[in-house]
């Protein structure tokens, strides 16, 4: 049996920009993507702490250590610059894989720099 488990989590992320004229996604600082093993194009669930919105999109890579968390395309309607986000990704695991699986978390500071795991 396959079960859905959280693979990666970013907490304390703040929206730094919005760009309507794009196909749609969320830009995330490359250093954060690498820290939590999230690949460009990978599906993410985005939870907006400020307004309660939840949406699903895919990650794109922003410049490493830029602190950028940018909403693109239709996602711009889901938050405002300065809103705090939680960003999650999931994976499918076999029962035998679950006991040894370790998910990854990045806790960000007010500048979207990694301050903890």
- Residue 78 φ then ψ, to 5°: -95, 0
Choose the catalytic residue: 8, 22, 25, 89: 25
Average pLDDT of span 57-75: 97
Taking the domains of the chain in order of start, what are their residue ranges?
2-116
Average pLDDT of span 38-53: 97
Beta carbons of 7 and 89 less than 8 angstroms apart: yes
Tell me if residue 32 falls in helix, strand or coil: helix
58 a catalytic residue: yes
Give, in words, the CATH class of 2-116. mainly beta
89 a catalytic residue: no
Choose the catalytic residue: 22, 58, 66, 90: 58
pLDDT at 22 over 90: no
Question: Please, which residues have CB within 8 angstroms of residue 68's CB and are 6 or more apart in sequence?
Answer: 16, 17, 27, 28, 29, 62, 112
């Amino acid at each position: 049996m396959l079960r859905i488990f959280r693979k990666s989590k970013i907490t304390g992320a703040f929206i730094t920009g919005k760009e309507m004229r794009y196909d749609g996604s969320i830009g995330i600082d490359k250093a954060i993507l690498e820290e939590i093993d999230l690949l460009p194009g990978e599906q993410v669930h985005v939870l907006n702490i400020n307004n309660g919105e939840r949406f699903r999109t895919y990650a794109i890579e922003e410049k490493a250590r830029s602190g950028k968390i940018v909403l693109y395309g239709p996602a711009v309607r889901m938050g405002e610059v300065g809103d705090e986000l939680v960003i999650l990704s999931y994976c499918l695991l076999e029962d035998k894989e679950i006991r040894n699986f370790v998910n990854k978390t990045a806790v960000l500071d007010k500048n979207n720099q990694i301050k903890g795991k």
